[in-house]
Structure 1
Amino acid sequence: MAQLVERAQAEISKQAEGNRFLDLLENGAAPAERLRRLAGELYRLVGSDRRSFALLASRFAEPPAGDLFLAMAEGEAQALRLLLDFAAAMGLGEPELRAYEPRPLAQAYPAYLTQTALFGASSAVALALLANVTESGATYARVADALRSRYGFSENAVGHFRFFAETPQSLLDAAEATVAAGLALGENPDDAVRTARMVSAYEAAFWATMAEGLDEA
């Protein structure tokens, strides 16, 4: 298991690039308009991911996969509620979030996750979680810190980002068990590594889209 996670992380590191939006945010150079856009994009993304994990839970209902994907769907529901606090801090309610017109490339990640939920193996999404959790969590922690220190958001308003900054060990344990169970049933480890790499690339594309049109920090 550890070797497969390391293999996926090695593949991810080959394509790693800087996060320009995060750099801008930490320098206080992202305008208020872009923060509102972030809320709008995340509202679409998280809502889609919630449905994707629920679909995975229905496809792979038996434990450990069923328990993992149900927990992830419930986590997305909680994250969506927390996101409303971030939006509210900028004067946005759900009507404004629903009316927001998303950028196509910002929504490439949830579209890929939906594709994987429909056609992928249980081990694929589980390995993607394990391989990307450290980098993704660090990104969300830095976003929360920058919003607090540079933009004056309250701790309550950045709860969405704090939520994704820390992944419970119980969830990681369930992901490990899901990968092991899937591979034991004959799921292809190469497909799982590919999914982990693609998830990382699409997450990077999301943040890159957030920085489009902004001056360098």
Structure 2
Amino acid sequence: MTTSAREVLADTQAELTPLPGANRLLPLLADGRAPVSVIAALAGEERRIIASDWRAFLTLAARAEDSATRQFFSFLAGGESVALDLLVPLAEASGADMASYTPQAGCQAYPAYVASLALNASPVDALLALFANFAAWGEYCAAISASLRANYGFDDRACGFFDFFAKPVPEPEQYALTAIQSALDSGWQPDEAQRHGRLLLTYELMFWNTLADTAASPSGTQ
């Protein structure tokens, strides 16, 4: 039986690594085939996701009974506040009309599930499920940032949102390992967290592939 937090985290991250090509938007951006309107749609979706995730993370921090889990979700909530500001230059560069944009169900399934976890999951289960999916998100953001610079002429300011998430930071992992080890020591097992993580991975890919379908539509919009 796995008893090390490092092992649990590594095993869960390995299980939740997306298959190559699972994100169908990346090659469209890498080749410059996605219209700028799809980048604008991404900004519009993220504006709503950030607001929802910020509230969810604060709820999970308030529900957590140990300091490491509280610190983890408080740190994430602070990051969402920064990301919201960084989204403004991306919206400006892509011509996004944030006030009138209508979100798509396939893009909003992910934050809806995160909000459900905030209310219904144990905080440590939510922590492992979310953190295990962060690696893929960071890699996607790095790839998109490079594509926007190379193919769309976006500058550093416009790419700041993606650069922010592409840059690894040590604090979340430190908090996660402490929280997971404490939970393991008290008899917790990661099975439910891993089930949550598989759903989060599915919903995240749904986000990207909904946008990819938008890019492939005749007008580039839905």
**TM-score above 0.5:** yes
Amino acid corresponding to residue 122 of structure 1 in structure 2:
P
Match in the other structure for 2:61: 57
CA distance in 2, matches of 1:55, 1:120: 11
CA distance in 2, matches of 1:149, 1:192: 38
CA contact (8 A) 2:130 2:197 kept: yes
Most deviating of 185-194 and 108-117? 185-194
| Residues 15 and 153 of structure 1: CA distance in aligned 2, closer, same or farther (over 3 Å) | closer
Most deviating of 129-138 and 107-116? 129-138
Report the CA distance between 1:186 and its aligned residue.
4.3
Report the CA distance between 1:10 and its aligned residue.
3.9
CA distance in 2, matches of 1:31, 1:211: 10
- Whether 1:90 and 2:106 are equivalent positions in the alignment is no
Percent identity between the two aligned chains: 36
Unaligned runs of at least 5 residues, structure 1: none
CA distance in 2, matches of 1:45, 1:204: 14
Matched positions, count: 213
Most deviating of 71-80 and 194-203? 194-203
Match in the other structure for 2:33: 29
CA distance in 2, matches of 1:62, 1:7: 23
1:33-52 correspondence runs (5 A):
33-52=37-56
- Whether 1:73 and 2:74 are equivalent positions in the alignment is no
TM-score, normalization by structure 1: 0.90
CA distance in 1, matches of 2:131, 2:77: 16
Amino acid corresponding to residue 51 of structure 2 in structure 1:
G
1:104-130 CA deviation, whole Å, 9 max, x = no partner?
111010001011111111222321244
2:158 match: secondary structure: coil
Match in the other structure for 1:116: 117
- Whether 1:4 and 2:8 are equivalent positions in the alignment is yes
Unaligned runs of at least 5 residues, structure 2: 218-222
1:85 match: secondary structure: helix
CA distance in 2, matches of 1:179, 1:3: 10
TM-score, normalization by structure 2: 0.88
Most deviating of 23-32 and 132-141? 132-141
Amino acid corresponding to residue 192 of structure 2 in structure 1:
D
CA distance in 1, matches of 2:20, 2:29: 19
1:34-68 CA deviation, whole Å, 9 max, x = no partner?
11111101111111111110111111164111111
| Residues 16 and 27 of structure 1: CA distance in aligned 2, closer, same or farther (over 3 Å) | closer
- What is the root-mean-square deviation of aligned Cα atoms in Å? 2.0
Report the CA distance between 1:151 and its aligned residue.
0.3
